[in-house]
Amino acid sequence: MFCCMSAEQQEETMRIFVDAMGGDLAPQAPVEGTVEALRRNPELTVTLAGIVPEIEKYLAGADDVRSRITLLDAPEVITNHESPVMGVRKKTKSATVLGMLAVRDKEADGFVSAGSTGAVLAGGMFRLGRIPGVERPALAPLMPNGKGYFLLIDCGANVDCKPEYLTQFGVMGDAYMRGVMGIEKPRVGIINIGAEDEKGNALVKDAFPMMAEAPYHFVGSVEARDLFSDIADVCVADGFAGNLVLKTMEGVAMFMLKTMKQELMADTRSKIGAALAKPALRRLKHTLDYTEVGGAPLLGVQGAVVKAHGSSNAHAFSCAIDQVIKMVNGHVVEIIEKGVAKMNSQDAQ
């Protein structure tokens, strides 16, 4: 299980900055999720940024962890209905801007938000900054594959890509799977319309030889139908294709669970079968539940940033905080920086 890390996994005191006003269920879900994460991680301290009186409403009953929570007034909110770039430039008292600056200035170790995806991307680019040598940061959610998880990168941050971007996505995904998931030699593949090397559009064909020479274990093309077959730990795509894959997978999962529930409740015999199969069905639902992962890391920026799902509940938010902790403890940013530098030095030769 990805979420619910033990205290032993945490190396030292961790300072996480949380956007309390981001997401459909804010501020309740971010605040209650923060409390859940604090109870699970004794060395964790959190700055909750947002409209303080609203935040305080959901801290009743959290006296056991209250001393490890700092409230920061951030009265401005960047919504999904405004330009992310303009929002980041003008709303300097928003949690997104304040959080990115806190990470940049080493006042926080990581940042979590379920708010505007565009604002998180813009904040990461223009307030926190890219890792030296990184062309474009990318969003990279963990996806279940039956035996664990694979990383899908990119899932929407960069809809138009160059071959160099995809090659670097492989470096970033490799770093994440090594640092966070503990995989010694992650298998990196590129999502394609066929398994043969010569297939694909111009972007994939141009990226393929570059990825084959990159400093990671490249396994070639991965068809979309094979994403769940555990043939790659990192699956690279441009943001347009990656987002289609992500949204299709989410839709299929919801359709399967809804249809299964309808069929199992259709008649008495089905209901009896459902009762007998309840433990297995519960495990299936758990496997398909995005809340157990928490969110998608924004890889390529100079700090640990996780974009939680907009509809995240408290548990999902707590798992997003756990994910940031794992990124920091796994030295993901440092591994990416070394990997990009190594790849760029190879290209220069």
Per-residue pLDDT reduced to its tens digit, 259-292: 888 888 888 888 888 788 778 777 766 666 666 6
* Distances in whole angstroms, Cα of residue 202 to Cα of each of 152, 163, 198, 206, 342: 20, 9, 10, 6, 26
Mean pLDDT of the chain: 91
Cis (ω within 30 of 0) for the bond into 53?
no
Angle formed at CA 244 by CA 242 and CA 245, multiple of 5 degrees: 65
**pLDDT average, residue stretch 2-22:** 74
Does residue 173 share a domain with residue 103?
no
Total Cβ atoms within 10 A of residue 157 = 29
The least confident of 11-20, 211-220, 238-247, 268-277 is: 268-277
By residue range, what is the domain housing residue 12? Answer: 1-134+300-332
Total Cβ atoms within 10 A of residue 53 = 9
Question: How far is Cα 3 from Cα 306, in angstroms, rounded to an integer?
Answer: 14
Q: What is the CATH number of the domain that holds 262?
A: 3.40.718.10
Tokens of 59: 């801290």
Per-residue pLDDT reduced to its tens digit, 94-141: 999 999 999 999 999 999 999 999 999 999 999 999 999 999 999 999
Of the pLDDT bands very low, low, confident and very high (cuts 50, 70, 90), residue 4 is low
Token pair 């990997």: residue: 339
199 is a domain residue: yes
Does residue 239 share a domain with residue 140?
yes
Total Cβ atoms within 10 A of residue 222 = 23
188 is a domain residue: yes
Does residue 191 share a domain with residue 119?
no
Q: Which residues pair with 97 in a beta bridge?
A: none
152 is a domain residue: yes
Cβ-contact 130, 301 below 8 angstroms: yes
Question: How far is Cα 280 from Cα 294, in angstroms, rounded to an integer?
Answer: 23
User: What is the model's pLDDT at position 198?
Assistant: 82
Token pair 């990805």: residue: 2
In angstroms, what is the C-alpha Rg of the chain? 20
